[in-house]
Amino acid sequence: MRGESLKKTSFLTGLLLLISFLFFLLSSKPWFGKFLGFLAKPIQPLERNLLLTYQKSASWTTYFSTLKTKDQQIFQLQGQLNQLALQQNQLSSCLEENEKIKKLLGSPLPAQWRFVEARVMGMTEKMRIDKGQKDGVKEGMMIVSENILVGKVIKANENDALIQLLSDANTKIPVVVKKPSPDKTKTLGGVQARGLLSGQGGEKLLLDRVLQSEDIQKGDLVVTAGEEGWLPDLLVGQIVDVAPKSAEVYQKARVSPLVEAQNLRIVFIILK
C-alpha cells in the first residue's frame, strides 16, 4: 500500500464526509429546506408518474394472476368484507360522518379538524406525499383515507413528507376494539377491549396487550383510542384471527388493515 495514495484517498473521503455532514446539519434549517425543495421539484413529477405506472401495472398483474381462480374469489370477498365493515361504520355514525365528509370537501367548519388532500409520490419503505411544511404539514400529523387511518407523518420536508405506515415495525398505536352493530343504522357497540396495535412489517398487524378477561372476536373493528398522540375514533382494521387463550396475561390477535396502502393514490392529512 502506498502511503501517499492512501493519504489522498483519506483526505478526499474526509472532505466529502465533512460536506455531507454540513448538509446533514443544515437540513434542519428552514432556508436550506426551501432550497432542497427547489432542487427536488424537477424529480417529484417523474417519481409520481413512475409510481402511477407501477400501480397500474401491478393492478393488471394482480388481475390476470387471479383470474378465474379461487384466490380471486377470496380476494373479492375480503374486499367486500372490508367494504361492508367500512359501510357499517359509516352508516352507524352518520351525523359524525357527514360532518367529516364536509370537512374533507374543504367546507369551512368550526370544528378543529381540517383536511388537506395529498397525492402519493412514493411507496417504498415509507410512504411519501406531495405536501410538506409549506402546506402546514408537521411531524406527528395523521394521514387518513376516508375515515381509515393510513399512518403518521414522521418527517416533513418543504414540499413533501414521509409517512410511517401502520405496517411499519416502529408503529405502536393504543387502540380500542368495538363490536360492529348488527343493526347498521345504529352506532358501533361500546368498547369491548383495549390494546396496543403494532406493525409487523408485513400485511397483517398485531393486536397485543388485551386482557384475557376482555372479549375480542373475529370481525371486531379496531379503532384508535386517542392516546399517545394518535387522534381518536379513526378506523384501523378488523380482527381476522384471535390467538387461543393461554396462560399469558394478555391475549393477542391478528388485524387486517381496512385500506391497502400500496394502492392508495390520494390521502388526507388531518391538520389540527
Partner 1 sequence: MKPYLILIIIFLFVLLQGSFLSLNLVLMTILVFTAFNSSRQSLWVAFVSGLLLDLAQGTTFGLSSLLFLVLTFLLLLYSKRFEPTHLFFLPFFVFFSAILYSLVVWQQIYLLSSLVLFSLTILVLFILKFFPIERARGLKLRT
Which residues of this protein are in contact with partner 1, per CB under 8 A? 1-2, 5-6, 8-10, 12-13, 16-17, 19-27, 32, 36, 39-40, 43, 46-48, 50-51, 54-55, 121-126, 128, 155, 157, 160-162, 168-170, 201
How far apart are CB 13 and partner 1 at their closest, in Å? 5
Least CB distance from residue 31 to partner 1, whole Å? 13
- Is the separation of the CB atoms in 166 and 261 below 8 Å? yes
Taking the complex as a whole, the smallest distance from the CB of residue 158 to partner 1 amounts, in Å, to: 10
Residue type, 114: R
Q: Is 93 exposed, middle or buried (0-12, 13-18, 19+ CB in 10 A)?
A: middle
Q: How far is the CB of 211 from partner 1 (least distance, A)?
A: 29
Q: Cell 378506523: give the residue.
A: 235
Structural contact between residues 222 and 174, judged by C-beta atoms closer than 8 angstroms = no
Distance between CA atoms of residues 88 and 235, nearest Å: 12
If the CB atoms of residues 4 and 183 are measured against partner 1, the closer one turns out to be 4
CB of residue 66 to partner 1, shortest distance in Å: 20
For partner 1, the closer CB: 77 or 266: 266
122 or 257: whose CB is closer to partner 1?
122
E strand spans, the chain: 114-123, 127-129, 142-145, 148-156, 161-165, 172-178, 191-199, 205-211, 221-225, 232-242, 250-257, 266-271
Q: Which is nearer to partner 1, 150 or 176 (CB)?
A: 150
The CB-of-4 to partner 1 minimum distance in angstroms stands at 10
Task: Locate 216 and state its grid cell.
Answer: 375480542
Q: Which is nearer to partner 1, 51 or 216 (CB)?
A: 51
Our CB check for partner 1 shows the closer of 105 and 169 to be 169
By beta-carbon proximity to partner 1, the closer residue of 45 and 106 is 45
Q: Are 152 and 172 in contact (CB under 8 A)?
A: no
In 3-state terms, the chain is what percent helix, strand and coil (to 5)?
35, 30, 35
Q: What CA–CA distance (Å, rounded) separates 20 from 26? A: 10
The least CB distance from residue 15 to partner 1, in Å, is 9
- Residue 8 near residue 81 (C-beta atoms within 8 A): no
What grid cell was written down for 103?
370537512
- Residue 202: strand, helix, or coil: coil
